[in-house]
A and B are shown apart, each in its own frame.
Chain A
């Protein structure tokens, strides 16, 4: 699941120079996190109207990043054609896909944070660093690329205090990795030196 959070409302207002706005929510990740499902879209509509915007309509697509036919979206939502701009309450993937179809200004209402998931009804953030070269199994299923603030592959830095990361309140990822591997009886996974990541595997440039 893509983890996103809503932008500050004032920041959204500053972005939106147009008057007639259509709002699109997303029925997948954004809905689950309560940042882009129907209640949030309704709330956004109210706030924007109170700020003098004309809301031409709204919809919550089943998945903003996966659109089979933009014509279907248009025929079901005639308000779009009466709009100067779209406000999309989804991750950057959804905003990007819709921008490709829409032919008019599209604004993001969310900031996209990380690739996470839901565990026992709790949203968990930063589960995968999307490095394009998954070796998470070596680390007991805990991704050091994203869970360690410095993406260290060979063990912790010296910055943790009482098990807390140097950067914020999160627990040191390397303590978690060590404990998990110890439980699994797989500490040998991290005893040898791990080589630097090959960033060609995640890069936008493909080797020719």
Chain B
């Protein structure tokens, strides 16, 4: 069953994040993919994440789909203008890619090519709108396409949003089919986000699926590092639990699987994005009772 069918069916979704290689050697990426095959409903393939140059997601997705994995191709507004975005998208569709995740993208100054020209010709809401047009069979200038796309569109969100952030979320909910969130550690705060999302759904008479981000905790150091990432907050008591544990990585797995268990009733799926590779992802999902 395809990702979109599973999403519609109400199955609790499992997605996992894979980074394309920094170079032409795909062996490590394929290693990760092998660990996820049969476990993840789809794998997310990042687009020069953190503005660090890597293989293009369209190439990486294509390689992964050949290996039998369904992909969700990330597409940021940072590196391409509206022509490049559209040609990339119709190319991706022709290659069998059916799901895209749209985001603004980290600014080039945060990455490994600091002097690169930031493009941002469109923002994430406008990009969603443009994909909607491609799905209708026309480009952004209104020209008819010879063969339309049929993308399942996702957007991203932080779960702690101020009023300005909520305003943008409303616009994303209008267009997208699913939302993938920044990593969740505080389930109570996440449930407050879900309440806000439900209010928007009610007002807009449109439902959206929520896939919660999960970053397995590994050590006190990694937890402290994550706390510096925009949109992530690891609660103090959780950091203490890891710090006091005899085997921090084991404790991290326990904490993370508990979070996933709690999230099952709150949202439509989880998105696993470990720091490093996916060697423990299967175990984590087993501990959470998902597989």
A132-184 at interface with B (beta carbon < 8 Å): 149-161, 166-168, 172, 174-175, 177-178, 182
Interface pair B156/A158, CB less than 8 Å apart: yes
Number of chain A interface residues as a range:
20 to 34
Tell me if A190 counts as interface (CB < 8 A to partner B).
yes
Query: Is residue B158 contacting chain A, with contact meaning CB distance below 8 A?
Result: yes
B126 engages A155 (CB within 8 Å): no
**A194 to chain B: which residues have CB within 8 Å?**
126
* Distance (whole angstroms) from the CB of A173 to the closest CB of chain B: 10
The residues of A that contact B171 with a CB separation of less than 8 Å are: 154-155, 193
Complex CA distance for A149 and B110, rounded to whole angstroms: 12
Knowing A155-B168, A158-B156, A159-B107, the reply to whether A150 touches B120 (Cβ < 8 A) is yes
Partner of A154, one of B106, B157, B168: B168
Contact sample, A vs B, 23 pairs, CB 8 Å cutoff: A149-B118, A150-B104, A150-B118, A152-B104, A154-B126, A155-B123, A156-B164, A156-B168, A157-B124, A158-B103, A158-B156, A158-B230, A158-B231, A159-B106, A159-B107, A161-B228, A167-B107, A167-B110, A168-B109, A174-B164, A178-B164, A194-B126, A196-B126
Judge if B96 is at the interface, Cβ distance under 8 Å: no
Q: Determine the residue in chain A with the shortest Cβ distance to B164.
A: A178
A175 to B168, CA, bound (A): 12
Q: Closest Cβ of chain A: how far from B34's Cβ, in Å?
A: 31
Interfacial residues, chain A to chain B (CB-CB below 8 A): 149-161, 166-168, 172, 174-175, 177-178, 182, 187, 190-191, 193-196, 199
Chain B's nearest CB lies how many Å from the CB of A119?
23
CB-based contact B123/A158 at 8 Å? no
Please report B residues at the A interface, Cβ cutoff 8 Å.
77-78, 82, 103-104, 106-107, 109-110, 118, 120-126, 129, 140, 156-158, 162-165, 167-168, 170-171, 174, 182, 228, 230-231
How far does the alpha carbon of A156 sit from the alpha carbon of B163 in the complex, in Å? 10
Are B106 and A166 in contact, with the CB atoms below 8 A?
yes
Contact of B182 among A158, A172, A199 (CB under 8 A): A158
Query: Closest A-chain residue to B127, C-beta based?
Result: A196
Contact between A196 and B82, CB atoms less than 8 A apart: yes
Given the complex of chains A and B, what is the CA–CA distance between A191 and B123 in angstroms?
Answer: 15
User: Can you name 18 extra interface pairs (CB under 8 A) apart from A149-B107, A196-B122?
Assistant: A150-B123, A151-B120, A152-B120, A152-B123, A154-B125, A155-B171, A157-B104, A159-B106, A166-B230, A167-B109, A172-B164, A174-B164, A175-B162, A175-B164, A178-B164, A193-B125, A196-B82, A196-B140
Query: What B residues does A153 contact at CB under 8 A?
Result: 123, 126
Q: Smallest CB-CB separation from B107: which chain A residue? A: A167
Please, how many angstroms separate the alpha-carbon atoms of A175 and B166 in the complex?
Answer: 11
Which chain A residue shows the least CB distance to B82?
Answer: A196
Cα(A128)–Cα(B52), bound, Å: 29
B residues within 8 A CB of A182? 163
Contacts of B120 in A (CB 8 A): 150-152
CB pair B123–A178 under 8 Å, yes or no, is: no
Kindly state the separation between the CA atoms of A49 and B126 in the bound complex, as whole angstroms. Answer: 55
**Closest CB-CB distance, B114 to chain A, in whole Å?**
11
Name the contact of B107 in the complex, choosing from A150, A154, A155, A175 (C-beta under 8 A): A150
Which of A167, A178, A191, A196 meets B121, CB within 8 Å? A196
